[in-house]
């Protein structure tokens, strides 16, 4: 009986397939986690950029601009966008152009002293509940993007 198994135990046929299968059991979850980490970093960068673009828009659409956004009246007329919907639309458009839908996110606009007069700071905060791309159950994460600038016009 011992002589019967001695030849089969030393046979190398099929060992490549078994080794590849075992390696893939380790490599596949690692690649999925690496992909998710990269997408998390990309999403963070997109939200930071979108909030900076929102601040850029708010900085150049203060009370001195004819189409102002934010609380306070314009020098030219009453401010048509008191709630800052145009700033929010810019943030959503910038994030949407990179494939991120911000429908489940919160975008908060903060004008210091509750006015959009030149020289006052404006802050845009974006909170986005991160959704995994691979549908692997990761813990719930919220990505925050914040930018602050000084109103120019």
pLDDT digits (tens, 9 = 90+) for 74-112: 566 677 888 899 999 999 999 999 888 888 899 999 998
Mean pLDDT of 135-145: 87
Q: Which residues on neighbouring strands pair with residue 147, listed in sequence order?
A: 124
> Smallest Cα–Cα separation from 47: which of 122, 99, 84?
99
Q: Give the lowest-confidence range in 59-73, 98-112, 137-151.
A: 59-73
Give the Cα separation of 12 and 98 in Å (integer).
50
What proportion of the chain, given as a percentage, has pLDDT over 70?
89
Residues 6+ apart with CB under 8 A from 6: none
pLDDT, one tens digit per residue, over 47-60 is 999 999 999 999 99
CA atoms within 13 A on the CB side of 69: 21
Q: Which residues on neighbouring strands pair with residue 150, listed in sequence order?
A: 121
Say if residues 126 and 105 touch (Cβ distance below 8 Å).
Answer: yes
What is the domain partition of the chain in residue ranges? 15-150
């Amino acid at each position: 009986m011992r002589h019967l198994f001695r030849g089969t135990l030393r046979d190398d046929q099929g060992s490549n397939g078994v080794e590849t299968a075992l390696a893939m059991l380790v490599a596949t979850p690692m690649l999925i986690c690496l992909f998710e980490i990269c997408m998390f970093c990309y999403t963070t960068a997109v939200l930071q950029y979108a909030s900076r673009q929102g601040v850029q828009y708010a900085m150049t659409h203060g009370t001195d601009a004819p189409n102002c956004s934010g609380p306070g009246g314009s020098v030219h007329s009453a401010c048509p966008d008191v709630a800052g919907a145009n700033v929010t639309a810019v943030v959503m458009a910038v994030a949407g152009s990179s494939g991120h839908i911000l429908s489940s996110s919160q975008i908060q606009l903060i004008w210091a002293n509750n006015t959009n007069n030149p020289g006052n700071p404006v802050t845009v905060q974006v909170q986005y509940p991160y959704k995994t791309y691979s549908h692997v159950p990761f813990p719930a994460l919220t990505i925050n993007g914040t930018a602050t600038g000084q109103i120019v016009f």
